[in-house]
A = this chain, B = another copy of it.
Amino acid sequence: MAKNNTITFFDLTMATGATTSPFVWSTKFALKHKGFDLDVVPGGFTGILERTCGVTERLPAIVDEGTWVLDSWGIVEYLDKTYPDRPMLLADPGMVPLIRAVDAWFWRVAVGPWMRCFCADYRDLCFEEDKEYVTHSREIMVGMKLEDKQAGREDRLPLISAEIEPLRITLRESSWLGGNEPSYADYRIIGPFLFLASVAKIPPLAEDDPLRDWIERCRDLFGGLGRHPGLFPLYGLPRREGDPELFAPPGQGGIHKRNTGPQSTRAETERITDGMKK
């Protein structure tokens, strides 16, 4: 399989040439993790069915020596099953439901809301031939004009940033979502951040967001796969008066801190028993 180590990969990009779909991004990382070179078929939203010979209306899709494989999860399963001698994307089947849970959460609180913050920019950045389809389909999805949906995003971006704190808590004790090494967990979540970078005409994250370290390390993987001149800066969201903290101040631990004995809990005990008779 995979003649000359190469797999055909159908890209989905903006007019800038930057990949936009979160799922297509995740899949690109997954293929590189398995060590493949990509024969990239470029393109936007229009004509996917034609480009893929009628095989699919949606991307990602790959062709490995004549075998078509669809769907981001379908491709990951195919790659680990067909190439178990190459680095595994999912070292244990017990990781699958957990990645699904993190992914479902992240779409709910971040990816969906970010899409609504940048839906008009997204339309403006796509290929000329895609604009009618993108405008029409996204206006049905969001239920109004894209400009109206996008409006007021300055008030919403700080809330989204605060809401993704669980990712920051996770990456306090681990270099990667995969543990000591990146796994498909990392690729599944960096995909949406790179989608965001493909459309974010104003920065969605704080300059000093603790996630920046992990995001930039992900982008550096595979010779800078997550870097493209068409991507916008992610950092620089200001915190205005009345905004929530964009991320939890360092030093907070609470329930996510380890109990190593009375010295580790004494300060909290003092705080919550303050004034009680000893």
Contact = CB atoms under 8 A, between A and B. Distances in A.
Interface of A: 49, 54-58, 70-71, 73-74, 91-102, 104-105, 107-108, 132-133, 136-138, 140-141, 165-167, 169-171, 173-174, 176-181, 183, 185, 255-256, 258-262, 265-266, 269, 271-276
Contacts of A74: 258-260
A13 to B, nearest CB: 19
A214 to B, nearest CB: 11
Contacts of A260: 70-71, 74
Contacts of A100: 169-170, 173-174, 256
Given A92-B94, A179-B96, A274 B140 contact: yes
Contacts of A183: 94
A98 B102 contact: yes
Given A98-B98, A272-B136, A70 B104 contact: no
A171 to B, nearest CB: 8
B265 A57 contact: yes
10 A-B pairs with the lowest CB-CB distances in the bound complex, closest first: A104-B166, A92-B92, A98-B98, A137-B272, A97-B174, A101-B170, A104-B169, A105-B166, A94-B179, A71-B259
Contact of A49 (B94, B101, B171, B262): B262
Nearest to A263: B57
Please give the count of copies of this chain that the complex contains: 2
Contacts of A58: 259, 265
B259 A185 contact: no
16 contacts: A49-B262, A57-B259, A92-B95, A92-B179, A93-B180, A94-B178, A94-B179, A97-B173, A97-B176, A97-B178, A97-B185, A98-B170, A100-B174, A101-B166, A102-B102, A105-B166
Main secondary structure of the interface of A (DSSP, over half): helix
Given A49-B262, A92-B91, A94-B95, A104 B256 contact: yes
Contact of A179 (B93, B137, B138, B265): B93
A207 to B, nearest CB: 23
A271 B256 CA distance: 44
B185 A98 contact: yes
Nearest to A266: B57
A167 B49 CA distance: 33
Contacts of A275: 136
